Chains A and B, each alone.
Chain A
Amino acid sequence: MKTYTYTEKKDTRSGFGAGMTELGRTNPNVVALCADLIGSLKIQTFIDENPERFFQVGIAEANMMGIAAGLTIGGKIPFTGTFANFSTGRVYDQIRQSIAYSDKNVKICASHAGLTLGEDGATHQILEDIGLMKMLPGMIVINPCDYNQTKAATIAIADHKGPVYLRFGRPAVPVFTPADQKFEIGKAIKFTEGTDITIVATGHLVWEALEASKALNEKGISAEVINIHTIKPLDNKAILDSVSKTGCVVTAEEHNYLGGLGESVSRVLATHRPTPQEFVATNDTFGESGTPAQLMEKYGLNSEAIVRASEKVIKRK
């Protein structure tokens, strides 16, 4: 089986920052807004190079979403930046009416998603954002898996006309996808070929899925790992093609099982090809303080959890 290695760990939010730097140099219509979290969003270089195209709105996320909607009227492509919690739940109605329903070309860029923001605890973590955003008609939802994919996604969404939710994280994680990749919205990536089980993963859980596939391989189980970076629109064909071969699936995400990637996959399978599925996701709970690794262990979101879920689902075939 194909194996993946990495030489360095980097945070996906820095991939976003690097993508913004490039967009600042290549697309004069791209503008950035931030609600007092420049350092956390890693957009200082964009700001230094394009001060007139940056809007510091202060701690006022609702106003930020409205200003972003207004900036599109006049041809700008606004990228908003704050934590995932404050990018979604706090401003849901502003996004719903002024951006989604108004068909505005706003890119909602959300850092510190999921549990891995760590010690700040549940007030700042969010495990509901994918669900909130995918329910909005017309909203694209993307959760890239490493630094390079996040950078590529950031650049790609500027060319998509319409609202996008781009979700990324805080901790340094392995960089294992190519630096020169072309990011295609809605297109799944098959990382390993397998015959016994399909593992569909998004975000930080993709690396964990690859680690799990190695462990499963040692046990004689052949796993096919599919990276779904775009949760909406979902690449139905990639999922159906894979399960038609393997006959079972584990979905893995740093999100509540309610409203997440797993439920989107379930819907596709229930409609087209009923297939046994297990969910690696949080179980309708808030997070808490701790190190990222401790939290992923406690809430069952690591490679060991994926291995356990895989062994369980194979028995249900």
Chain B
Amino acid sequence: MANIEKLEALTTQTRRDIIRMVHKVNSGHPGGSLGCTEFLIALYNDIMDRKEGFDMDGIGEDLFFLSNGHISPVFYSVLARAGYFPVEELNTFRLINSRLQGHPTTHEGLPGVRIASGSLGQGMSVALGAAEAKKLNNDNNLIYSLHGDGELQEGQNWEAIMYASAKKIDNLIATIDLNGKQIDGATDDVLPMGSIKAKFEAFGWIVLEIEEGNNIEAILKGMTEAKSKSGNGKPVCVLLKTIMGHGVDFMMHTHAWHGKAPNDEQLAIGLEQNPETLGDY
């Protein structure tokens, strides 16, 4: 499928953007960003029904909320390459006077961002509010959100998860990046959470699983199914199994690159593994 080839080319380019961005300022979070690259590219370039340009209220279009704001490198690259702001601006990531703050914010007026995130656990509540606003406005478009699995340790999520099913928020598709890792190590070592699937189901959600969360085709299939489950009186959760650091071999299968930038040599290896496809910024 031509579309899949196009999305895969975009994925490789976004991987380059991510590691170049964090390398330049020697800070930022490449691991989770690389793991969610296919997902965000599929979402913004296929799954979501988006309008041209950016308007905060987003009436008549699908909206996305990033709750785990530390994966800002992938978010910024995907937004820029979807046309929200010039790709050259990726050069300013984490620099003084930039709209591309360490964690996403509306405060500097960056198009594409609708809420500040970074302090974890708040995004699902915000997504619920936006979903309620859509219902009040008789707007049939959907709300998408992304959350880290470690992030589910924040209690506010469970307030939101309880509310979503109680109030039949069926225009929300919340995706959990199930990479099994957090800063201090494996989630199963830091604070084992048991079955996240069983937990969401117990709270009354429809739960879908995407086993290959770094495979564009699998994501498109899974998210299309998720869309088909919306509007049925229940919120929808997608458990997206990803590999942290995917696409840069030495960053994969470890939490070591959660919040660490590559040095010059490591950058070169990473770029070699992800050849330029659409032009570097």
Contact = CB atoms under 8 A, between A and B. Distances in A.
A70 B156 contact: no
A136 B199 CA distance: 36
A54 B37 CA distance: 38
Given A66-B128, A67-B128, A97 B163 contact: no
Given A70-B131, A93-B119, A102-B115, A63 B125 contact: yes
A105 to B, nearest CB: 10
Contacts of B134: 74
Interface in B85-140: 105-107, 114-119, 122-134, 136-137, 139
Contacts, number: 119
B156 A69 contact: no
Interface residues of B, number: 39
Given A67-B125, A97-B117, A98-B122, A76 B107 contact: no
Contact of A60 (B59, B63, B163): B163
A55 interface: yes
A97 B160 contact: no
| Residue among B130, B133, B167 with most chain A CB within 10 A | B133
Contacts of B193: none
Contact of B119 (A57, A58, A97): A97
A74 B163 contact: no
A67 B129 contact: yes
A73 B114 CA distance: 8
B126 A69 contact: yes
B259 interface: no
A72 B136 CA distance: 12
A53 B136 CA distance: 8
B218 to A, nearest CB: 29
A66 B133 contact: no
A71 B159 contact: no
A265 interface: no
Contacts of A58: 159, 162-163, 166
A32 interface: no
Contact of A75 (B57, B162, B167): B57
Interface in A2-48: 31
A98 B132 CA distance: 16
Given A60-B163, A67-B132, A101-B107, A74 B115 contact: no
Interface in A195-248: none
Interface string A65-87: 11111111111101000000000
Contact of B137 (A74, A94, A98): A74
A173 interface: no
A52 interface: yes
B58 A73 contact: yes
B249 to A, nearest CB: 35
Nearest to A60: B159
A103 B107 CA distance: 7
A71 B122 contact: no
Contact of B122 (A52, A60, A66, A73): A66
Contact of A66 (B106, B107, B125, B166): B125
Nearest to B63: A73
A216 to B, nearest CB: 47
Given A55-B132, A65-B125, A66-B129, A73 B156 contact: no
Contacts of A63: 125, 128, 156, 159-160, 163
Contacts of B136: 31, 52-53, 74, 76
A93 B125 CA distance: 13
Contacts of A68: 129
Contacts of B139: 74
B56 interface: yes
Contact of A102 (B105, B125, B167): B105
A172 interface: no
A122 interface: no
Nearest to B154: A62
Contacts of A57: 159, 163
B119 A71 contact: no
A58 B163 CA distance: 8
Nearest to B123: A66
A75 B132 CA distance: 11
Contact of B132 (A62, A65, A71): A71
A67 B126 contact: yes
Contacts of A103: 106-107
B158 to A, nearest CB: 9
B129 A70 contact: yes
A40 to B, nearest CB: 20
Nearest to B137: A74
Contacts of B119: 93, 96-97
B69 to A, nearest CB: 9
A74 B58 contact: yes
6 contacts: A63-B159, A69-B125, A72-B133, A74-B130, A75-B137, A97-B118
Given A60-B159, A93-B119, 9 more contacts: A63-B128, A65-B125, A66-B124, A66-B156, A67-B128, A73-B129, A73-B130, A96-B119, A101-B105
Please provide the 3 A-B residue pairs with the shortest distance between their CB atoms, ordered closest to farther.
Answer: A70-B129, A66-B125, A74-B133
